[in-house]
Amino acid sequence: MDSLTITGPHGAIPIRVYRAAAGSEPSPALVWAHGGGFAWGDLEMPEAHWVSQQLAARGITVISVGYRLAPVSAALTDSEPARDGVLFPVASVEVATAFCWAADQATAYGIDADRLSLGGASAGGALAAGVALRLRDAGGAQPASLLLAYPLVHSVLPEPSTELAQKIAVLPADTRFEPDDVRAMNLNYVGDPAGLDNPYAFPGVDVTVCQEPGTRHGHLNEPENPGAQASLRRMAAWLDGSNRG
């Protein structure tokens, strides 16, 4: 693993490069953004470090991005002190910067530039989806595919099906994402309610959905969870192209 910083419009961006296992070059690669409600998370959390390690062991180079976080305010939590942070679009721009860096450095890191993907988990999934639109509109390097783990891509949660609502109802309260909680988190990220309609923040795009039975939001932070391990295998298969055309 290489820890380094790259330069972005808002200052230095810490990243980690997890090189694919020996013999994999030129390898598929993934620029990856951790989750944490836009306001929490770091490069050490399992969703960042463990996921990156496991994918690298399966022959995929991973660039994990330590993007700047949104502020922590009383509207989000009363269990920790308030903390300053940045608002949209800073984190989005930093993930885009990391992707462009990875595309430029593909040869140096043994990456197959035609198989450079973009992804993230939870809030990181929202960042990745919005960044894909940002990159498309900029006309430069484009991701080969998007890999989004339990992403938040809607500024307002759609109504769940009856079956899903019943499953959510039995979860512990602190593991649910109620509509009011999501709205508060999203407003904390964008700052201005008008930002909720910005597709770079919340794309609201059509997706191909794969469900992992027996898991809940954030399960990639549970390395011992069989569902997390199954998700890793599914992710690796997607990235190396063995389960799609």
Residues 111 and 92: beta-carbon distance below 8 Å: no
Of residues 25 and 65, more confidently modeled: 65
Map out the domains of the chain with their CATH numbers. 2-239 (3.40.50.1820)
Is the per-residue pLDDT at 205 higher than 60? yes
pLDDT of the residue at 245: 44
Max mean pLDDT among 169-178, 179-188, 198-207 falls in 179-188
Of residues 78 and 68, more confidently modeled: 68
- As a whole number of angstroms, the distance between CA 158 and CA 2 comes to 40
Q: Poorest-confidence range of 28-42, 46-60, 124-138, 199-213?
A: 199-213
CA nearest neighbour of 31 among 92, 133, 100, 114: 100
pLDDT of the residue at 84: 94
Average pLDDT in the 119-138 region? 96
- pTM given for the model: 0.86
Q: Side chain identity at 54, as an amino acid letter?
A: Q
Q: Side chain identity at 22, as an amino acid letter?
A: A
pLDDT of the residue at 218: 92
For residue 155, what are its two tokens? 């500024």
192 to each of 28, 122, 197, how far by Cα in Å? 38, 21, 10
> Mean pLDDT of all residues in the chain?
91
